[in-house]
Amino acid sequence: MRLPDPALVVLVGPSGAGKSTWAAGRYRTEEVVSSDALRGVVGSGPHDLDASADAFALLETVVAARLGRGLTTVVDTLGLDADRRLAWLAAARAAGLPAVAVRMHTPDALCRQRNAARDRPVPAPVLAAQLKRAALVGTALDLEGWDLVHVVDTDEAPRVPEEAPRRVEGHTPRRGPDDRRSSQGLRVVLQVSRFPWGEDPAGWLRSVALAADEAGFAGLALMDHLIQIPQVGRAWEPIPEPWVTLGMLAGLDTRLDLGTLVTPVTFRPAGVVAKAAATLDALTGGRCFVGIGAGWWAREHAAYAVPFPSARERLDLLEDAIRTMRALWASGTKAYAGGRVDLPETTGYPRPAGRIPVVVGGGGERRTLRIAAELGDACNVASDPETLDRKIEVLRAHCRDVGRDPAEVAVTVLDLPVVGRDRADAWARVERLRGRSPAAAFARRTHAGTVADQRDRYGALADRGVDTVFLGLGDLAGPEDVLALADLVG
């Protein structure tokens, strides 16, 4: 519907009805004269009620001046005061401009919900009084002589975000609308373990992440090591701190899930990991995951003065860490008594935007897979078919033991293939990467082949019950290598 223009437009409706939002979508900022904005001009801010008298005096001056010049003037106040309305109507008549009242007809519950979501809500009794007056204003407007009374109906579903769903241990992993899957039904997440970024670390990271998003990857995972591991590169090659790096990637416009694969539980107290992950989840609207493991490399711990307890103790730490994170991510602030982990309170803000999936890394059959079965949303094991079947069997057995539905614990694999444009290119890469390993053994271990070869293999992984493949490239150089995988992940 087109309203007369130029015109005087008087907004009418309680707080949270959507008056300012409606006006902002239709008029230039300069055309909207808002009592809240003027409170901010003459007072300490838009809600400085002590500044109301000065703000309204200024508002009247601006309205009169604009109408006097024949300029469209949108009066953004509650509009519930009949005397004020009639004065503006008279001023429009005097200026020869049509006068329009716009009544925001918004359900009371929605106004209350929006009001509650604000940083400085109007006190509940004040809002209740406004709602009462607003219910009666329709009749008054019809009798006042406006050239047009335009009613804006807001019966659409509230757009205020719902409270995050309550998180329960052992709840099915989320499957949102952004659950990207390949044609074979797999989620394929790019695992980045090497960072040949030359002189431009941020530019390289950005280009790789944008390429991953464009290629259709479901997410991007970062390895967490203090020194580059010998399996991937040289100790003097860069290996960035993952939470800092993920924070940068969170600022890019992508739909990628972002997380670690895996963070050793020894590096940071679990509560601090929970804080980092909740922050990342809040910043990305629910795209964070936490891959976590017991840690294995003594050298990096020694070099950074990080304690490296025995394997048994590290597995205990892993178990406690997951319980601690879950407790801190759960709603409320109540104390947590988990037996092994006791927290006097679980005050954690920002709250995660959704349930943060925990991926338990490692194929240790007695403890690691048991921890995954009991506490994880997923396990992460190696992708070679011989051991995969066995690990899945052990995981399922642990699930039965602890009374967990195996469908709630996704199987994910870390897959480190050598992928070539064609057969010749695949072999050239094998030759470059194999170090002292015999070429045939290296090619077999890395499933060297083309994208089509990898697709066949991924089909077989999906058939075995794999949910997610974390795909790492041992020779990742830049975005082109990522884009070349589009047919594998799409």
Site residues, ligand UTP (CB under 6 A): 13, 15-21, 36, 78, 114, 154, 159-160
**Euclidean distance between CA atoms 465 and 436, whole angstroms:** 34
Cβ atoms of 297 and 225 within 8 Å: the answer is: yes
Q: Which of Mg ion, ligand UTP, none lies near 21, with the C-beta cut-off 5 to 8 A by kind? A: ligand UTP
Query: What sections of 330-402 are H helices per DSSP?
Result: 368-375, 385-402
**366 burial class (0-12, 13-18, 19+ CB within 10 angstroms)?**
exposed
Footprint (CB under 5 A) of Mg ion, residues 16-45: 20
Q: Which is nearer to ligand UTP, 9 or 288 (CB)?
A: 9
Q: Is the peptide bond before 262 cis (omega within 30 degrees of 0)?
A: yes
Least distance from ligand UTP to the Cβ atom of residue 149, Å: 17
CA 323/CA 440 separation, integer angstroms: 44
20 or 266: whose CB is closer to Mg ion?
20
Interacting partner of 15 out of ligand UTP, Mg ion, none (Cβ under 5 to 8 A depending on kind):
ligand UTP
* Residue 15 CB, nearest approach to ligand UTP (Å): 3
Nearer to ligand UTP, 42 or 160 (CB): 160
From the list Mg ion, ligand UTP, none, partner contacted by residue 17 (C-beta under 5 to 8 A by kind): ligand UTP
Query: Is the Cβ–Cβ distance between 51 and 95 less than 8 Å?
Result: no
For Mg ion, the closer CB: 49 or 90: 49
Please state the closest distance from residue 123 (CB atom) to ligand UTP, in A: 12
Which of Mg ion, ligand UTP, none interacts with 240 (beta carbon under 5 to 8 A by kind)?
A: none
CB of 127 to ligand UTP, least distance (A): 9
Element (H, E) at 291: strand 288-293
Transcribe 105-118 into DSSP letters. Answer: E--HHHHHHHHHHS
Amino acid (1-letter code) at residue 143? L
How many residues touch Mg ion (CB under 5 A)?
A: 1
Whether 284 and 274 have beta carbons less than 8 Å apart is answered as no
CB of 53: closest distance to ligand UTP in angstroms? 18
Cβ 87 to ligand UTP shortest distance, Å: 20
291 binds, among ligand UTP, Mg ion, none (CB under 5 to 8 A by kind): none
Least separation in angstroms between residue 130's CB and ligand UTP is 8
Structure tokens at 316: 């205990």
Q: Are 349 and 424 within 8 A, CB to CB? A: no
- Selection from Mg ion, ligand UTP, none that 326 binds (CB < 5 to 8 A by kind) is none
- 172 makes contact, choosing from ligand UTP, Mg ion, none, with CB < 5 to 8 Å by partner type, with none
Our CB check for ligand UTP shows the closer of 32 and 358 to be 32
The amino acid occupying position 362 is G
Q: Which does 429 bind (CB under 5 to 8 A by kind): ligand UTP, Mg ion, none?
A: none
* Distance of closest approach, residue 50 Cβ to Mg ion, in angstroms: 19
From the CB of 182, what's the least distance to Mg ion, in Å?
47
Compute the distance between CA of residue 286 and CA of residue 324 in angstroms, rounded to an integer: 19
Handedness of CA 61, 65, 70, 74 (dihedral sign): negative
**Cα dist. 482→21, 43, 320, 339, 455 in Å?**
42, 54, 36, 45, 15
- Show the 3-state SS of 167-187: CCCCCCCCCCCCCCCCCCCCE
Helices (H), 96-168: 108-117, 124-144
Closest CB to ligand UTP among 83 and 156?
Answer: 156
Q: What's the closest the beta carbon of residue 41 comes to ligand UTP, in angstroms?
A: 15
* Cα 218 to Cα 88, 192, 222, 258, 309, distances in angstroms: 56, 14, 14, 9, 35
Q: Are strands 342-343 and 336-337 parallel, antiparallel or unpaired?
A: antiparallel
Measure the CA angle with vertex 317, ends 313 and 323; round to 5°. 150
Question: Based on CB atoms, which residue is closest to Mg ion, 20 or 193?
Answer: 20
User: 8 - beta bridge partners?
Assistant: 73, 99
Among Mg ion, ligand UTP, none, what does residue 466 contact (CB within 5–8 Å per kind)? none
* N- to C-terminal Cα separation, the chain: 43
Nearest CA among 467, 407, 481 for reference residue 187: 467
- Taking the least distance from each CB to Mg ion, the nearer of 126 and 397 is 126
- Positions in 78-137 near Mg ion (CB under 5 A): none
Instruction: Tell me the closest approach of the beta carbon of residue 117 to ligand UTP, in angstroms.
Output: 7
For residues 12 and 205, which CB has a smaller minimum distance to Mg ion in the complex? 12
Residue whose CB is less far from ligand UTP, 156 or 199 = 156
Rank residues 38 and 430 by Cβ distance to Mg ion and give the closer one.
38
Q: How far is the CB of 279 from ligand UTP (least distance, A)?
A: 23
Which residue has the closest beta carbon to Mg ion? 20
Query: Residue 454 has which token pair?
Result: 């990898």
Partner touching 16 among ligand UTP, Mg ion, none, CB below 5 to 8 Å by kind: ligand UTP
Round to whole Å and give the CA distance between 232 and 64: 72
Question: Which residue lies nearer to ligand UTP by CB, 28 or 166?
Answer: 28
Residues contributing to the site for Mg ion (CB under 5 A)? 20
